Every structure is written in C-alpha cells, then in structure tokens.
C-alpha cells in the first residue's frame, strides 16, 4: 500500500510537471527547428514527464522495470520500428493485462496504470523517442536477463 501511495504521488508530480511544460512549449519557436528535432524533443519531454518517475534509466528499479529492460523486451517481439511504435503508443494509453510482454514485471511490480490523458501524438512521439534512443544495458541487468532467460540479452 505504501508503495502504491508513493507511485501515485510520483505520478501526480510527473503529471503536473507535464502541464507546466506544455504551457511553455506554446511559446517555443519550434517552427524554426527541423521537424525531426522537434518531434524527438517532444518525445523526450513526454518521456521525462510521464514515464521516468516509474521507469528508471539507471540504478535498480523499485516501481517498474527500467526503461532499457522495457525497450529490450518489446523489441524482442516487435523489432520493426513501425510495429514497436504502434505497440508502445497503444499500450501506454490502455495497458492490457492479457497481452503483456513483461509477465515477470507484472508479478513483481503490479500492472502499469493507463496513461489515458496522453494524446495520440504524444503517445507516438514518446514511443519513437524510446525506439530511437541509444540505451546501454548495465552489467547487472545483463546478468539478471541471462539468469531469467538462459542467454545474454540481444543488443538493440
Ligand atoms: C505509475 C508507474 C508507471 C508509469 C508512470 C509508466 N509505467 Fe510503464 N510500466 C509500469 C509497470 C509497473 C510495468 C510492468 C507491468 C506491466 O507490464 O503492466 C510497465 C510496463 C511497461 C511496458 C511493457 C509492456 C509489456 O507489454 O509488457 C511498456 C512498453 C511501458 N511500460 C511503457 C511506458 C511508457 C512509454 C511510459 C510513459 C509514457 C510509462 N510506461 C509510464 C509502470 C509505469
């Protein structure tokens, strides 16, 4: 229960940060930047305000699987960019417990709550950002993956 309250707090902090940065981006003269750069930075912003509170990118996880582990597992199943983006964009707005890839994570951390407030564009932008970002797998994770799957994780 304590863990739940804590993640709810983190989430609401992340959400209110999200609103603030949305207001800022209205004044952003993004039209001057190349479209790819604008899209990438939007995805990063969505990621930082909506995902990072649960999906840590370094250190050991406490609330949810770390983002590099998420990327690695989803890419094992959806290696093509378009399929990966579609899967992640749909998942975050409405996670489906019957269609989960990271079964072990559900047992360990509980199911991911839906982020229904995200627009389709933001859901797509954050999925693209995760696919396009380089994410190194820390040694402890490689070891953990090998213990769980009997083989070293593939580098994606
Ligand atoms: C409140 C905590 C929380 C937040 C915020 C959160 N997640 Fe999750 N996420 C989880 C947990 C816990 C799991 C593992 C259990 C599960 O898969 O339902 C998970 C699993 C996932 C998975 C794996 C799905 C699968 O098929 O197994 C993806 C992809 C994912 N999250 C992406 C995201 C993205 C992208 C964001 C931000 C837009 C995000 N999550 C925000 C807690 C969170």
> Contact at 8 Å (CB) between 53 and 12?
no
Question: Which portions of the chain are predicted below pLDDT 70?
Answer: 1-33, 39-40, 155-156
Taking the domain 2-149, which CATH number applies? 1.10.760
Ligand 1, CB within 6 Å, residue ranges: 7, 11, 50-51, 53-55, 63-65, 70, 74, 88, 91-92, 95, 100-102, 105-106, 109-113, 115, 126
Per-residue model confidence as pLDDT tens digits over 135-144 = 878 888 888 8
Instruction: Using the atom order of ligand 1, give the atom closest to the CA of residue 102.
Output: 27
User: Model pTM?
Assistant: 0.78
């Amino acid at each position: 229960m304590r863990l739940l309250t804590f993640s709810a707090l983190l989430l609401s902090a992340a959400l209110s940060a999200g609103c603030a940065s949305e207001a800022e981006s209205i004044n952003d003269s993004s039209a001057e930047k190349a479209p790819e750069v604008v899209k990438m930075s939007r995805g990063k912003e969505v990621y930082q305000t909506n995902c990072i509170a649960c999906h840590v990118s370094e250190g050991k996880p406490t609330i949810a699987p770390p983002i590099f582990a998420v990327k690695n597992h989803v890419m094992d199943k959806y290696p093509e960019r378009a399929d990966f983006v579609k899967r992640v964009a749909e998942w975050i707005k409405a996670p489906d417990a019957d269609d989960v890839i990271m079964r072990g994570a559900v047992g360990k951390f509980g199911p991911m709550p839906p982020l229904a407030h995200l627009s389709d564009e933001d859901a797509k932008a954050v999925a693209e950002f995760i696919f396009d970002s380089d994410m190194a797998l820390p040694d402890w994770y490689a070891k953990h993956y090998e213990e769980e799957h009997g083989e070293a994780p593939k580098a994606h």
